[in-house]
Amino acid sequence: MGNTPANLIKPRERILETAANLFYANGYRAVGIDRIIAESGVAKMSFYRHFPSKDDLIAAYLQRASDNFWVWLETITRDEPDPRQQLEAIFRAVTNRSIHPACLGCTFMAAALEFPALEHPAHAVALAYKRGVLAKLTELSRLAGAREPEVLGAGLMMLMDGAWSAARMFGPGNHAQHVATIAKLLIAAELMPQNSKKS
Amino acid sequence: MGNTPANLIKPRERILETAANLFYANGYRAVGIDRIIAESGVAKMSFYRHFPSKDDLIAAYLQRASDNFWVWLETITRDEPDPRQQLEAIFRAVTNRSIHPACLGCTFMAAALEFPALEHPAHAVALAYKRGVLAKLTELSRLAGAREPEVLGAGLMMLMDGAWSAARMFGPGNHAQHVATIAKLLIAAELMPQNSKKS
DNA sequence: AATAAGATAGACAGGTCTGTATCATTTATT
DNA sequence: AATAAATGATACAGACCTGTCTATCTTATT
């Protein structure tokens, strides 16, 4: 008895899985260690053996979330033939994810808001992730032939973060449903030199 | 002695002012009642006479922040002759604010992230505010002659929230500096029918 | 089978949080 | 000046939080 699948997974993974759900849905300060321990079915000392402190757990969770995101991005863009279509594919995926009821916004943004200090481990992991996304979008913009890749990259980045914000703030059925359309429009505009002349 | 200006302001205002600074900079759960009381120089019972609970204070603060925002928006758009230029003026102002060192992102977004339940008073006030902004941007888009005002309004809304996110996540000198350029580009694209044809 | 390592269970310490109670003092009203 | 209302200072209760300690039990390794 008691040989439920959950008990066969090692404690560290069970903790990270439980923490992921709780942190994402409720935030970081709102979720206590006791609750994570109770819901993951792990002893307190086992927890502190794997994670010296709550901040360490948060940082580990964010790192795992970051890794997961890059895998997700890779699967999305894998079959797209060129940079422009890769960008458009990314924003179709963002649309699909944003309007899904399970989407509760961006957990990295939540980390930055709850831990304002840039040096805080949680903020640092979140910032590294966001820097990576911005760099990726900028690089794809450059490869797609944008006149000002940094500007287009910044614009797409803001659209993406705005979509996550909409999901959290408005709940299901929010205006992030239009992000793919807007992104496509923006890409088209920045790729046509006649539209990007200075004022 | 002790007649410093701060002591001449009524307790309720001192509390709201202190709470504004602390909540905006640190978040809501991270700031305790005791700290607000200490820094505003008010007795605990005076606090609880004006605000029955911490949640009431948070809601009152957010309502005041919302009022302040609409005043700010009014001053920005007052002298602009037409809807399109009003939109562009808004995003110039967003740029200026985002890149300022004192900008720590959007306090309403922080409220939505720390209080996920849509029914929570803090989230409710934040959501009402965001709905208002989205409606305003959509209305200006419509008046400016956008083919799909809801799409343009949604896009501008996401750009704005993305700019606030950038400010919080990256600190001073972030990619929100390009939001005015991007917004202008997007408006131009959506106002020219040949660019908004369906795929 | 013997030994070492990891996990469980629960009590516990020290701190912080929200909110209440008590009582003296200041300010405003009449 | 007398009275009512608002504020100040501080102690306190009860809950919760992070992290530690001890002692028992299960699982790997050799």
On the question of pLDDT at A24 being above 70, the answer is yes
Residue-level pLDDT at A26: 98
C-beta of residue B128 within 8 angstroms of C-beta of residue B59: no
**Range of weakest confidence among A82-91, A121-130, A152-161, B3-12:** B3-12
Confidence at residue A193, expressed as pLDDT on a 0 to 100 scale? 64
Tokens for A11? 């404690």
Residue A1, pLDDT > 60, answer: no
Q: Is the pLDDT of residue A5 over 90?
A: no
What pLDDT is stored for residue A10 in this prediction?
Answer: 87
Closest CA to B166 of B75, B74, B73, B104: B104
pLDDT of residue B2: 33
pLDDT at A160 over 50: yes
Which of A171, A175, A185 lies closest to B134 in CB terms?
Answer: A175
Res B193: pLDDT:
64
Chain B residues with CB-CB distance to A159 below 8 A: 155, 158-159, 162
Provide the pLDDT for residue B9.
Answer: 81
| Model confidence pLDDT, tens digit, residues A165-188 | 999 999 999 999 999 999 999 999
Cα–Cα distance measured from residue B183 to residue B179, given in angstroms and rounded to the nearest whole number: 6
**Averaged pLDDT for residues A109-129:** 98
B14 to chain A nearest CA, in Å? 24
With CB atoms and an 8 Å threshold, state whether B169 touches A195. Answer: no
The answer to pTM > 0.85 is yes
Strand D reaches within 7 A of the A148 CB: no
Nearest-CA distance A95 → chain B (Å): 12
Q: Which long-range contacts (CB under 8 A, 24 or more apart) does A50-54 make?
A: A50/A11, A50/A12, A50/A15, A51/A15
Residues 6+ apart with CB under 8 A from A189: A195, A196, B185, B186, B188, B189, B195
What mean pLDDT is predicted for residues A102-106?
98
Helices (DSSP H) in B54-178: which residue ranges?
54-77, 83-98, 107-114, 121-144, 149-170
Is pLDDT above 50 for A47? yes
Identify the pLDDT of residue B197.
44
CA distance B30 to A116: 10
pLDDT averaged per 10 residues in sequence order, chain B, 199 residues = 54 96 98 97 96 98 98 98 98 98 98 97 98 98 97 98 98 97 97 55
Closest CA to A24 of A62, A56, A52: A62
State how far the Cα of B119 lies from the Cα of B131, in Å rounded to an integer.
15
Residues within 8 A of B (CB atoms), A 105-134 only: 105, 108-110, 112-114, 116, 118, 126-127, 130-131, 134
Q: Give the minimum alpha-carbon distance from A46 to chain B in angstroms, rounded to a whole number.
A: 27
